[in-house]
Amino acid sequence: MKKILQKVQSGVHLTESEMMTASEALFNEETDNGLIKEFLLALKEKGETADEIVGLVKVIRKHALQIDAPFENIMDNCGTGGDGSQSFNISTCSAFVIAGAGVPIAKHGNRSISSKTGSADVLEHLGVRLNFSQSEVSDLLAKNKIAFLFAPHVHPGIKKVMTARKELGVPTIFNLIGPLTNPVDLDTQIVGIYRREMLSTMAEALVRLGRKRGIVLSGAGHMDEASLEGENYLAVIDNGQINEITLKPEEVGLAPVSNEKIKGGDSIQNARILQSVLTGEKSVYRDTVLLNAGLALYAHGTASSMKEGIELAAKSIDSGSALERLNQLISFSKQKELA
| Binding residue numbers | 79, 82-83, 87, 89-92, 107-115, 119, 165, 224-225
DSSP 88: -
Does residue 82 contact residue 114 with C-beta atoms inside 8 Å?
yes
DSSP 163-182: HHHHHH-S--THHHHGGGG-
Give the integer Cα–Cα distance in Å for 306 and 74.
19
SS3 36: helix
Pairing status of strand 146-150 against strand 232-238: unpaired
- Bind-site residues for 5-phospho-alpha-D-ribose 1-diphosphate: 79, 82-83, 87, 89-92, 107-115, 119
- Bind-site residues for anthranilate: 79, 110, 165
Give the integer Cα–Cα distance in Å for 214 and 300.
7
- Bind-site residues for Mg(2+): 91, 224-225
Does residue 282 contact residue 177 with C-beta atoms inside 8 Å?
no
Alpha helices in the chain (DSSP H): 2-9, 16-27, 33-46, 50-62, 90-100, 119-126, 134-144, 151-154, 159-168, 174-177, 199-208, 267-278, 284-300, 306-318, 321-338
Q: Is the dihedral of CA 149, 209, 78, 323 positive or negative?
A: negative
Name the region of 128 (left: φ>0; alpha: ψ -120 to 50; beta: rest).
Answer: beta
